[in-house]
Structure 1
Amino acid sequence: MIQRIQTVYLAAALLISSALPFAFPLWTLQGNVDFYFMQSILYAAFFGLSAALSLLAILSYAKRQNQFVINRLNIILNLILLGLFVYRSLNLSGEAVMVSEKGIGMFLPIVSIVFLVLANKAIKKDEDLVKSVDRLR
């Protein structure tokens, strides 16, 4: 059923992965130049893949086990994206001369992971409920 709470969580993860990276910069380079995810094809590909996985999980509402697996893959993808952000922020050029500012866009994968974990909890709860009803039959 598409009107479940996990659909709300997955829609929030979809919004975070698809729309919010356009609004929030990842970091600010020297000279107050904002660095957005579109400036790197790797970050754009990861955000796009994360949004696609969230949409796929929403559309596969009839198969809860598939939703659960897709969400796990999406969590792993967001952890990789977060690791890339941390690696890049620690290795920004010119850090000895001028400290760059990290943007709120670097925390988008963390928020997405939180919503995906909440969706997985709701999917597990639904699955347990269905199994308990099947046991009574």
Structure 2
Amino acid sequence: MIQRLQTLFLALATLLNLSAYFTPIYEKAMDDPQQWIGLGLAISLMIAMVSNVVSIFLYKNRRNQIVWIKYSALFQVIGFGFCTGVLFSLGGIGTYLWDEALGTGLVFLGLIFQILAIRFVRKDEELVRSMDRIR
């Protein structure tokens, strides 16, 4: 389980989502007068983290693992949308908003790692199918 590369990608995506909670973009989202923006960001990142961890332990059923990672990527995109919305509501990417852009970049990097995990799970599935054909 640990030696598979997609496990590393999913763990990194989970850690990046967790680190997004400690960036100024999360603080700005929670300080918004409309509470649904901050709560939407928090909930979408939390669901993405939990489904990443669940999909790590589904290594025996690769098709089910791909489905879980896709759902996680969906919530990751929603979280990235919230981060981007908060960033642009602050005035876009300027000289004084690099910390907020960093938080948004962490969420986007987590999405990239999830896409890489899907790719490597599919490669494992193709390898297993090719080995079954050889037998």
Shorter-chain-normalised TM-score: which range?
A: 0.7 to 0.9
Alignment match, 1:14: 14
Give 1:15 deviation, angstroms.
0.8
Alignment match, 1:31: none
Question: Distance between the aligned counterparts of 2:22 and 2:89, measured in 1?
Answer: 24
Question: Distance between the aligned counterparts of 2:83 and 2:124, measured in 1?
Answer: 34
Question: Distance between the aligned counterparts of 1:100 and 1:81, measured in 2?
Answer: 22
**1:72 is matched by which residue type in structure 2?**
K
Question: Distance between the aligned counterparts of 1:41 and 1:133, measured in 2?
Answer: 47
Query: CA-to-partner distance for each residue in 1:56-98, whole Å, 9 max, x for gaps?
Result: 1111111111111111111111111112222233334xx5xxx
Cα contact 2:40–2:79 (8 A) shared by 1: no
Cα contact 1:17–1:112 (8 A) shared by 2: yes
Question: Distance between the aligned counterparts of 2:41 and 2:68, measured in 1?
Answer: 20
Question: Distance between the aligned counterparts of 2:116 and 2:122, measured in 1?
Answer: 10
Counting aligned pairs with the same residue, the percent is 29
SS state of the match for residue 24, structure 2?
A: coil
Alignment match, 1:105: 103
Is 1:81 the counterpart of 2:79? The answer is yes
Give 1:36 deviation, angstroms.
5.3
Cα contact 2:76–2:111 (8 A) shared by 1: yes
- TM-score when scaled to structure 1? 0.79
**Higher share of residues assigned strand:** 1
Structure 1 residue ranges without an equivalent (≥5)? 28-34
How many residues align? The count is 124
Question: Distance between the aligned counterparts of 2:122 and 2:42, measured in 1?
Answer: 31
Runs of 4+ in structure 1 deviating by more than 6 angstroms, as ranges, are none
Structure 2 residue ranges without an equivalent (≥5)? 32-37
Question: Distance between the aligned counterparts of 2:30 and 2:44, measured in 1?
Answer: 11
Q: Which deviates further from its counterpart, 122-131 or 70-79?
A: 70-79
- TM-score when scaled to structure 2? 0.80
Give 1:119 deviation, angstroms.
0.8
Question: Distance between the aligned counterparts of 2:96 and 2:106, measured in 1?
Answer: 19
Alignment RMSD (CA, Å): 2.1
Give 1:37 deviation, angstroms.
5.7
Larger Rg: 1
**Higher share of residues assigned helix:** 2
